[in-house]
A and B are shown apart, each in its own frame.
Chain A
């Protein structure tokens, strides 16, 4: 098959690409939709059809929205009327309130909460607030807040409250760059006025459900009981507003389609569905230049610089050639409807520096009849139509592995484990202000993903992986992500723009983190205990090292061979250092390396470790996530070009059928859902580094990124689209 569309060259395709990019560019409208109660926040999105409300319910819903609006306004009014000043009332310190804060979760209940910000407040009979004492908990979680006993006996006071605070946001002064921490009340305990009797009053052991680890999953995840009412963090109002503003039209398209499908599925076709949604890059390119996105040139270009941003492993047998490997179902649980073979693609580098595919090898079932997980099929450009179909299969497997391994495990889950450990342990240490802006909200989006995308959500219904399979796969893959000795991908050619962009961004992150450490080194050292605890939580709760728990004696030769390939490829892809000594806890080799083993002060190498962790966490949460997320719309925004799964269909050819054979494509429901997702994940982004909507990004970091605008643009990366955190 030809490398380019007939009679066309690379120049034509690049021109089509530029034009299509403009057409498919996502613009964020400013218009506010009044029916915002239906989309309170991201967690209220549903991939399925919404329940049809009758008119009365809609009115009631609207009235409820008005009521909640009034309650919010009333609360704001009360806050305005009764401001809480940071003045301590009373002079003497002759009485105290004491106690101990620990985590509440079973198995965690004796772990103290150190350095928690606590305070004792009095409420006057007229509703005013008076602060009587403030302080922090000690390392063992204990606190002792001294206050003026006679002050507390005054007639004007009605009740007292012991409050525990949590830092929710870090904002930055735009001129000085000073970090301004926003604390909110995490828990409030009332104390009757009669309880104080002079001397001490013991609140005993207060246990807090504070960023506790889930025990129902092998992955390091935080417990979220209720996204809106009982979560360790919440989206900012502007983040929710962004979703509402951007997504209503897309939601309406999906609802429309699902309504038609309910009526009669035959009324819709995949092309019709595709046409109803805004055009993405590939549909726009196909309109400008047919076959531009199906040719070999485009295939190689996207594998290298698209959403997959694949790792090109040198071919050991053929110099100058490379392999890209997408590990499919392997031995993970899969369903019987969708195919998910492992795909290995051999590439050569063309003169222009872009890879051209030479061979596509699939390993695994390709039809409904032969379920041998290790059957091999090979295709080359000489195979005509089969080659086109093989590319499509490669795209699909590549997309699903990119989503499952690189996106979900590599950025979302990876970032969440750092976020949890940070929130649980780092408060006074300046590292909190460095990392919090980049690690916030990831737990929330992951929680949404559990139901919408992963668990009973879209992926198990629209691809080969099952609910259990995703979790097992995520656990294994996460075992290949460690901060230690991580470095960005090495470009293999001048056209390897993704790798170059990754390296460029890494340089900025290094610069930023080094600068931060230089400014804050003394305080970072002073509060080293928090880093010690942070490190412990990170390591103790990390998943086992990739494939370290596998008992080889139970595996077949094919499985062993596959695992060997995987280990080698993953070490290269995720830059996991195979020679590193790792920590073993209860017989399990842990993936993440410790930052420090010293409680009180850093020893040699510890500061460098901490810097490396910070750089890594920021890198994963920002650039690495943004790149994959942003390019989802480009690379899996056209159902027939690339979906997340291909059905086996009824023929012996299985998934090797033309694009117009809709029996192997996702059905119409899953097709519209896929488009809905693709748009959701790409259109509802909020929280960018340079846009800095909430002034919660360090100005120095913004400045560094802006200084490289041109360099990034040359690498097809728009810096204004790089997110400051993983929240979508």
Chain B
């Protein structure tokens, strides 16, 4: 008699969980299709990181790994690599932006055995699918100022922005990038683990562009500094020169922890970094970049969290409030990527960001409409 109520309540719980998962699936699909219809097909735009530069090279797994052995990360194994640096949202490198670095262990435009998408800052500005929805809805951008109401309402979002934004950084190369939401890791020992990834310059040079003493009231103001002399593409140009002259070398690192049945949900929360003493960063691979890609090739280059071995993929999410729902949404955004590539085929590749006086801009459409002189065509 006693077991009956618990069976019923368990059943009820299962139904509830299933409902949440279904809702999460619908939610992700809905979001993706919104991106498809408003950005990918119609404007040939990515969701946020249009302003970027691609490059190629190779990635070499370290010979003496300190992290648990994994068949994919065989010591010394070398992969061809493609990376893409970008500045989020705005089409002006001199603005205060979150900078990104995505990497694929392959020199193809898309196909790859392992992709990672990372941004600056150890914590993010949102922490679940639902939180991301609020983030998107409260953008309310105008003249280079955005998320004012979002930062007012969500203190952690503000904190994430203060930590992640970079202004006046000298290069993409010297920044630190984090994949903040954890992933699965089932190594050769068959023990379930969670991992986080992080990239830093190989020679560990100091990071530039960190905003010191950020103002809680003004974080949303991402406009260029008054009397800014650098152009809209200064970071991409710097990177191009850097690669031409000396190349770029990075260290990809990994942080692991064993999965426990009673793990607190905060383990998956990308707003809560894991303790470095308890879960130290270990070197995983050296990334060496020796060639930048042109604008068209950079546009074509896409990344996906589905490009991962099963043993290294995303952690399942249970609902739109689950901290793992962020990676879930990322993994379910394939349609948007495909739609963008389709749009390229149908309407041509988008124009490059010009080095003009149209500062503080995120107007992608305006660039596409810009007339070019005959000499440029």
Contacts and interface: CB of A to CB of B under 8 A. Distances in A.
| Chain A complexes with chain B | yes
Interface of A: 94, 98, 149-150, 153, 194-195, 197-202, 204
Interface in B140-178: 152-156
A84 B368 CA distance: 59
Interface of A is mostly: mixed
Contact of B153 (A150, A153, A195): A195
A235 to B, nearest CB: 39
A304 to B, nearest CB: 66
A199 B271 contact: yes
B79 interface: no
B178 to A, nearest CB: 18
Given A98-B155, A149-B321, A150-B321, A199 B127 contact: yes
A288 B155 CA distance: 80
A329 B175 CA distance: 81
B152 A197 contact: no
A648 B272 CA distance: 84
Residue of A98, A150, A197 contacting most chain B CB atoms (<10 Å): A197
Given A94-B266, A199-B155, 20 more contacts: A98-B155, A195-B134, A197-B126, A197-B130, A197-B133, A197-B134, A197-B154, A198-B128, A198-B130, A198-B131, A198-B321, A198-B323, A199-B127, A199-B154, A199-B156, A200-B154, A200-B156, A201-B153, A202-B154, A202-B155
Nearest to B272: A199
Contact of A94 (B130, B131, B155, B265): B265
Question: Range of interface residues on chain B?
Answer: 10 to 19
Nearest to B19: A155
A532 to B, nearest CB: 29
A94 B271 CA distance: 12
A153 B127 contact: no
Given A197-B154, A199-B154, A199-B156, A153 B321 contact: yes
A202 B321 contact: no
* A-B residue pairs, 3 tightest by C-beta: A197-B131, A199-B156, A200-B155
B321 A201 contact: no
Contacts of B133: 197
A200 to B, nearest CB: 4
B127 A202 contact: no
B4 to A, nearest CB: 24
Interface centre among B133, B154, B271 (most CB of A within 10 A): B154
Contacts of B152: 202, 204
A120 to B, nearest CB: 15
Contacts of B154: 197, 199-202
17 contacts: A94-B265, A98-B155, A149-B321, A150-B321, A194-B134, A197-B130, A197-B133, A197-B134, A197-B154, A198-B127, A198-B323, A199-B127, A199-B131, A200-B154, A200-B155, A202-B152, A204-B152
Interface string B118-145: 0000000011101101100000000000
Contacts of B128: 197-198
Nearest to B156: A199
A129 to B, nearest CB: 23
B35 to A, nearest CB: 20
Nearest to A153: B321
A197 B156 CA distance: 11
Contacts of B130: 197-198
Interface in B42-87: none
Contacts of A150: 321
Nearest to A194: B134
Contacts of A198: 127-128, 130-131, 321, 323
